[in-house]
Amino acid sequence: MNKIPFAMRLAARGLSLPAAEAECLEKLVRDLDKATEIVRGDRPYGEEPLSAFRLTPAAV
Amino acid sequence: MSNPCFLTIAEASRLIRARRLSPVELTNAYLDRIAALDGQLNSYILVLREQALAGAREAEAEIMAGRWKGPLHGIPIALKDIYETAGIPTTGHSALFRDHVPAEDATTVRLLREAGVVVLGKTATWEFAIGGPSFDLPWPPARNPWDTALDPAGSSSGSGAAVAAGLCMGAMGSDTGGSIRSPSAWNGIAGLKPTYGLVSRRGVLPLSFTLDHAGPMCWTSEDCALMMQTLAAYDPLDPGSADPGPIDFTMASGKALAGLRVGVVRHFFEKDAPAEPEVCAALENALTVMREGGATVRDVTLAPLDLYYDLCGLIMSPEAYAIHERGLTETPELYGALARQRISAGALIKGSDYVNALRLRAKLVAQAAEVMREVDVLVTPTRHGPPEPLGQFDTILGRRFYTRPFNVLGLPALSVCSGFTGAGLPLSLQIAGRPFEDALVLRVGDAFEKATSYRAIRPALKGAAPAFAGGEAGPVPATVGS
């Protein structure tokens, strides 16, 4: 879990939301923070991400 | 003829081609119905009366002159208001884009216009296809025609409500986490999220580049197939566009279920996120229909639903924030509260977490491909339950539906109506297939719809004509298994 206070994380991104919305946003971010735990950890060094980057030969 | 607004595209197309139905009269019927009834639904945020009538007159003249273009010629449709339309506002249902008037049509809009459709107007959406059913935007949220106190689901909420209510014959939606299939489920219609890359997103306001899909929403799977025959086209202007070669979307004559191998992802709706009993009963009824049609049915296992949800969030959130960073930091007041919150969350995802989510996604794609060597289609419910009250989005936001796995996997996924609750609210069935086997998915949906009587029931609106679907169809009991 992220240890940095939520308000500081938001401010660092240049975001300022009305106070009434902060609680809901914090909950959304908490869920995403929890989700990050499943993608962290050891991975094969060369495991590529799924990517839409495909080149096609130039037209002659 | 009964109310022409309740015809399917397939039915209307045959009549138009035979010159027994006038596109101008049909368009006028829809415009009159929208004027009379849409005040209850708010499904449209812009009705293009004059342009629609001009388009209908042009179609009629062409058909009368012997230049019939195909099954969509003269068919009135609607566009979710994230599809760019040349010279016509495309707002994303947001104050931020209130004055956005594109110079060009989206590729899909161009293809549909070339096929001869009549564009009736632009439909309501959750703000930028993510916000929610918001009450703090320049236009109200759409309502559910089966009960206007209920949520039509989103984000293609207006498209779903309009199709179900007979306010257009078909509509375009978009689907990043379920935004075609969820409103299809809660409005009791058919909606296809095509294979990733099969339908161009060029000119559709983006939300998440690797999860966005554009697709059709219609009363029937057959009508979705008719639209897909036009929409499935390689587009070099869409970096995600694929070119699988020609696909024949013609529906089979009642034999799609024979020999079909059906995989039920039972752990999604029984263990991972249990669906309500009526939803499960409707699914079992659908499996019986499939077996009776000659399909074999077995349970299969994919990754846990939560894993797909987590990945979808980790990918969608930063991709959406990348698009909206400037708007959210410079003019946040122009967003509604729900979109502002949901998109801002993406600002706090680390780059490495995003990349690792894409790495894990590749493994899930490979795992699903392995499972689908053993079965031809996967089935689940689309939603865990029937429509819920409009305005309870905080509750809905925390739920797990069964749509997101197929955005993560990019597989074609169709939602069809699988029956009704005792209270007459629609239930849903989701059918997913292998990459670019969209036509098979639609044929299975079509076979299911034709083996059941659920397409005969339309929602009843105050002051509306009789609420039963076209031609010969009559009323049937609004219960599961009828």
What percent of chain B has a predicted confidence (pLDDT) above 70? 95
Q: What mean pLDDT do residues B331-344 have?
A: 95
Token couple for B26: 């049909």
Q: Which of B314, B344, B361 sits opposite A36 (nearest CB)?
A: B314
Burial of B374 (0-12, 13-18, 19+ CB in 10 A): exposed
Give yes or no for A8 touching B (CB within 8 A): no
Q: What mean pLDDT do residues B116-130 have?
A: 98
Extents of the domains making up chain B: 4-456
**pLDDT of B433:** 98
Q: Of chain B residues 357-376, which have a CB less than 8 A from chain A?
A: 357-362, 365
Q: Which of B314, B329, B362 sits opposite A15 (nearest CB)?
A: B329
Token couple for B352: 């490495």
**pLDDT of B252:** 75
Token couple for B408: 């993560």
Which range is least confidently modeled, A35-44, B125-134, B183-192, B404-413? A35-44
Assign a CATH topology to domain B4-456. Answer: Amidase signature (AS) enzymes (3.90.1300)
**pLDDT of B395:** 61
Could you report the per-residue pLDDT of B70-117, keeping only the tens digit for each?
999 999 999 999 999 999 999 999 999 999 999 999 999 999 999 999
Mutate: best of A39, A42, A55, partner B, most B CBs <10 A: A39
Q: Which of B32, B11, B22 is nearest to B167 (CA)?
A: B32
Catalytic choice (B157, B179, B200, B415): B179
Name, of B251-265, B388-402, B403-417, the range with top average pLDDT.
Answer: B403-417
Question: B117 phi and psi, to 5 degrees?
Answer: -65, 160
Return the residue of B nearest to A55 by Cα.
B239
Contact assessment for residue B163 and residue B218, using Cβ atoms and an 8 Å cutoff? yes
Q: Do B359 and A18 touch (CB under 8 A)?
A: no
Does residue A22 register a pLDDT over 60? yes
Does residue A21 register a pLDDT over 80? yes
**pLDDT of B482:** 31
Q: Do B341 and A25 touch (CB under 8 A)?
A: yes
DSSP string across B242-272: --------PPPSS-TTTT-EEEE-HHIIIII
Distance in Å, alpha carbon of B240 to nearest chain A alpha carbon:
6
Q: Is B80 a catalytic residue?
A: yes
Q: How crowded is residue B308: how many other Cβ atoms within 10 Å of its Cβ?
A: 26
A6 or B83, which is more confident: B83
Distance in Å, alpha carbon of B311 to nearest chain A alpha carbon:
7
pLDDT category at A53 given cuts 50, 70, 90 is low
Q: What mean pLDDT do residues B1-23 have?
A: 95
Does residue B469 register a pLDDT over 70? no
Q: What mean pLDDT do residues B465-480 have?
A: 40
Could you report the per-residue pLDDT of B29-39, keeping only the tens digit for each?
999 999 999 99
Does residue B481 register a pLDDT over 50? no
Does residue B221 register a pLDDT over 60? yes
Could you report the per-residue pLDDT of B141-157, keeping only the tens digit for each?
999 999 999 999 999 99
Q: What is the SS3 assignment for B468? A: strand
Mean of the per-residue pLDDT values for chain A?
A: 84
Return the residue of B nearest to A23 by Cα.
B341
Could you report the per-residue pLDDT of B263-292, keeping only the tens digit for each?
999 999 999 999 999 999 999 999 999 999
Q: What is the SS3 assignment for B233? A: coil
Give yes or no for A26 touching B (CB within 8 A): no
Contact assessment for residue B137 and residue B118, using Cβ atoms and an 8 Å cutoff? no
Q: Which of B311, B313, B362 sits opposite A48 (nearest CB)?
A: B362
Rounded Cα–Cα distance for residues B2 and B118 (Å)? 21
